[in-house]
Structure 1
Amino acid sequence: MQQSLVLKQALSWKMNQSLHQSIEILQLSGIELYDYVQKIAEENPLIEDIRPIDRQVLSKFHDDTNAFENMNAWKKSMYEQLKENMYMLSIQEETIKEAVLFGIDSLNENGYLDITLEDWSAQCQLTMEETEQALFYLQSLEPPGIGARNLQECIRLQLREMDCDFPFLDDLFENNLILIADEDVGALAETYEITEEDAKRLITNMKLCHPNPGKLLEDTETEFIIPEASVFKEDGEWHLSFFHWSSPSIQIREDIMRMDMPKEGKEFLKEKKKELEMLEQAIQYRGKTLEQVLRIIVNKQLPFFEQGIAALQPLTLQDIADALDLHVSTISRAISHKYVQTDSGILQVKYLLQRETRKGEGVARIVVKQYVKEIIDKEDPTQPLSDEKIRRKLEELYQVRVARRTVMKYREELNIPSSSKRKRSTS
């Protein structure tokens, strides 16, 4: 209990008003930003007008993504949002799909799983291996941390998304969370024999974790999922073009500042002008940062736009942060709730970020995992392939070189049992 309390305390931080506004605006979508500015305009007489968003123009995106099945605004619960997002998981087996739906209904309001795997297995009449596979899919839903069985697993799932899933985390959670709470970089690095840079990264990323991910999906009015920008090919060249709603245009009433009025009125307008200047700076920072981030992503993922998922390139938040000399948390916020329009439909920007296999051969992990699953799906059920044979198949069929233990790791992450257990299940 004490460790959990320390962990929750470690996840909170303080910031000044200007920084808070910049961070808040950075992670808003274009439509959310427009609504945010509209609310400010109601209390700031200096804002004369905001360039309106043509909702009819937005409706043309209706057919571009499965998430657009209902275009009218409505209240959606956490459970409804998770079920709608299941299409992104591409679950083939109907029994597993039904099990994941059962798992979603078994979450509490904070997003934690409120049922044991044994009960889940019994209720859905599945084997434990199948139930673990359903758990894997459930925990793959957004936001990271959904489907966790305790606070430690919740934080670990989020850290895994940030490529910060160190092997010593279990010991850290059990014995040394005070190092995170105190931000003791030196002691953390020394205790777990990591670099101070990695220690700083871990401390920062743990602060970004949310202890109750279900709260991020509380009943909210949901309208359109629309793209910030379009990625398209023209005259043999790939281009990135931003839609006007990605950066609201604010018209200011300069005449009010020149009007005669009491001192109190002038002080009030002076304060409102400062607020407006901070708002404009935050919007400009958002636009500049988002454009820089998207250009790096698009340039890196050109093979994907040309050839599809098999050509998806390894790219992480840290890679982009290093390229732009920004903090990884800034990059994480910049791509939050952001979508781009492509020839393949509207994609979440986060989808275009994938970690590399450990050998660094230039293949995204998600691609190799898909290859592993395809190989196992096509194997002879009476003679299942060992991890070593799968490794050889990867090299033979896809020219992907990984270690046997990497195959084992990916297989386990997919909740696929070993060859001996797969063989027993068919006997």
Structure 2
Amino acid sequence: MKQNLSQVQSLQWKMNQSLLQSIHLLQYTGMELIEYIEEISKENPLIEEINFDHDLASYKSVSASLPAIGEINQKELTMYDQLKQQLYTVNLTDEIKPIILFGIDSLNENGYLDISLELWAEKCNTTEMKVQEALTLIQTLEPSGIGARTLQECIHLQLKQMQFYQPFMEELLMMHLDWIAEENDEAICEHFGVAIEVVDEIFRQVKACHPKPGQLLSASAPEFIVPEAHIYNENGNLKISFYKWNTPIIEITEEYKDLSSFKGDAAVYLKEKYKQIDWLKQAVSYRKQTLERVIQSIVKRQYMFFEHGSFMLQPLTLKEIAYELGMHVSTISRTITNKYVQTKHGVISLKFFMQSGVPQRDGKQTASFVIKQLMKELIEYEDKQKPLSDEMIKKQLYNEFGITIARRTVMKYREQLNIPASIKRKGTGG
């Protein structure tokens, strides 16, 4: 009886070890999984080779304007790719998108625009008005200051982002930047008739600006985002293609495939290493199946986003996915952590698709992300002399988009967007 109990406990321990390893591997990205197996192979002589697709450059972006890994200089990829990835949160028309992409490609490594608007319009076969519209959008990307044509404009853009406003600020930057550089407070006080305290604050704010904002993206070593799957439209249907590095194949060394020739401690040792490989294969298989099921569920629920863009994003929670798949919420959370998919809208984190919702009168919900984007648009085009209050934003969301939302929720979302209250936005345009 004791022996049977011991055998059951031993089996349970082995099953728990296998399960723990499977759960542990869930949180790894495809690249991290390969690195993990390679580390194990250093201590397990039975592992001869780990087969996966080594050619990361074969991972192609959906848009020809978004470079594939390895196609261009790494520093450029880091800055330009990060700027382009920010565009997937913006609802762009087919007309303006290629103009914006051309503008981003025309930035130098410091983030400044290197071509004239006239040449830009000529290259894109469009008007200077459209080019100016594209530039204005580029200048809203992070870090602030990106897309500036001069140092003066770069500083001005950053001061606007910091909500720092003086009625004479533009003139000071454009005409008397040397006074700021030399900290000539007397000249500024006398010319503009302001107190020394105001000038001291100007010096402090300008010093906080970065003269080369592009370096904030390109100075650090690039961190490549490698997607787990490619989601694309084929003949009107959404398809999911999982990349090969998502499921590495472990090959066993030929001389160790037959253990009958090994005796004693060597046989015991190799047997344990075989078990380790079996557990590892099961864990890799479990990770693959779980990841595929979760991505398939997300694609099904966010179908309208993949077809039409960010304004069609639907509310979705970890709990809903877990219920549908019969899994624990923590399993879903581990599965989507640091995982990305490639789409026509860019390379997107799976966590992005988990969105809270605001209940509407018809019983449906609107994703919080969509409401925030609509709020940003309303505020961007408001009359800067009569900025919209939270109550006015609430009313316009209902009147223009049919969205019902509490004023308190508007305030919360506005604060999350780092947008100041209307009284602090007055006169900040230009």
Shorter-chain TM-score category? 0.5 to 0.7
Q: State the Cα distance separating 1:99 from its structure 2 match.
A: 6.5
Q: State the Cα distance separating 1:233 from its structure 2 match.
A: 1.8
| Cα distance change of structure 1 residues 378 and 72 upon mapping to structure 2, 3 Å threshold | closer
Q: How does 1:156-171 map to 2 (within 5 A)?
A: none
| Residue 391 of structure 2 corresponds to residue 388 of structure 1 | yes
Q: How does 1:99-248 map to 2 (within 5 A)?
A: 224-248=224-248
- Structure 2 letter corresponding to 1:26: L
Q: State the Cα distance separating 1:279 from its structure 2 match.
A: 0.6
Please provide the CA RMSD for this pair. 3.9
- Structure 2 letter corresponding to 1:400: I
Partner of residue 373, structure 2: 370
Q: Deviation string for 1:1-59 (max 9, x for gaps)? A: xxxxxxxxxxxxxxx75455333321222122123222322322322332242416535
3-state secondary structure, aligned to 1:363: strand
> Between Structure 1 and Structure 2, how many residues are aligned?
300
Partner of residue 410, structure 2: 407
| Cα distance change of structure 1 residues 33 and 127 upon mapping to structure 2, 3 Å threshold | closer
| Cα distance change of structure 1 residues 25 and 338 upon mapping to structure 2, 3 Å threshold | same
- Structure 2 letter corresponding to 1:240: I
Q: Deviation string for 1:92-123 (max 9, x for gaps)? A: 6859955699xxxxxxxxxxxxxxxxxxxxxx
**Residue pair 1:361, 1:400 contacting (<8 A) in 2 also:** no
**Residue pair 1:65, 1:345 contacting (<8 A) in 2 also:** no
Q: State the Cα distance separating 1:244 from its structure 2 match.
A: 2.1
**Distance in 2 separating the partners of 1:346 and 1:426:** 33
**Residue pair 2:384, 2:426 contacting (<8 A) in 1 also:** yes
**Distance in 1 separating the partners of 2:318 and 2:67:** 25
3-state secondary structure, aligned to 2:365: coil
Partner of residue 286, structure 1: 287
| Residue 348 of structure 2 corresponds to residue 347 of structure 1 | yes
| Cα distance change of structure 1 residues 415 and 384 upon mapping to structure 2, 3 Å threshold | same
Q: Deviation string for 1:343-402 (max 9, x for gaps)? A: 233222222222212557422111100101110111111112222221121122222221
**Distance in 2 separating the partners of 1:309 and 1:367:** 7
Gap regions ≥5 residues in structure 1: 1-15, 102-123, 132-219
**Which has the higher Rg, Structure 1 or Structure 2?**
2
- Structure 2 letter corresponding to 1:248: P
**Residue pair 1:65, 1:346 contacting (<8 A) in 2 also:** no
3-state secondary structure, aligned to 2:281: helix
Q: Deviation string for 1:195-253 (max 9, x for gaps)? A: xxxxxxxxxxxxxxxxxxxxxxxxx9867432211212222221222122211122335
Partner of residue 326, structure 2: 325
3-state secondary structure, aligned to 1:245: helix
| Cα distance change of structure 1 residues 221 and 128 upon mapping to structure 2, 3 Å threshold | closer
**Distance in 1 separating the partners of 2:65 and 2:327:** 31
Q: How does 1:293-312 map to 2 (within 5 A)?
A: 293-312=294-313
Partner of residue 271, structure 2: 270
3-state secondary structure, aligned to 2:356: coil
**Residue pair 1:68, 1:225 contacting (<8 A) in 2 also:** no
Q: State the Cα distance separating 1:407 from its structure 2 match.
A: 1.3
Give the TM-score of the pair, scaled to structure 1: 0.59
Q: How does 1:246-261 map to 2 (within 5 A)?
A: 246-253=246-253, 256=256, 257-261=258-262
- Structure 2 letter corresponding to 1:40: I
**Residue pair 1:62, 1:69 contacting (<8 A) in 2 also:** no
- Structure 2 letter corresponding to 1:49: E
**Distance in 2 separating the partners of 1:274 and 1:398:** 59
3-state secondary structure, aligned to 1:49: strand
3-state secondary structure, aligned to 1:337: coil
Q: State the Cα distance separating 1:87 from its structure 2 match.
A: 6.1
- Structure 2 letter corresponding to 1:366: F
Partner of residue 117, structure 1: none
Partner of residue 169, structure 2: none
| Cα distance change of structure 1 residues 372 and 233 upon mapping to structure 2, 3 Å threshold | same
**Distance in 1 separating the partners of 2:422 and 2:384:** 9
**Residue pair 1:289, 1:334 contacting (<8 A) in 2 also:** yes
> Does 262-271 or 41-50 show the bigger shift?
41-50
**Residue pair 1:390, 1:407 contacting (<8 A) in 2 also:** yes
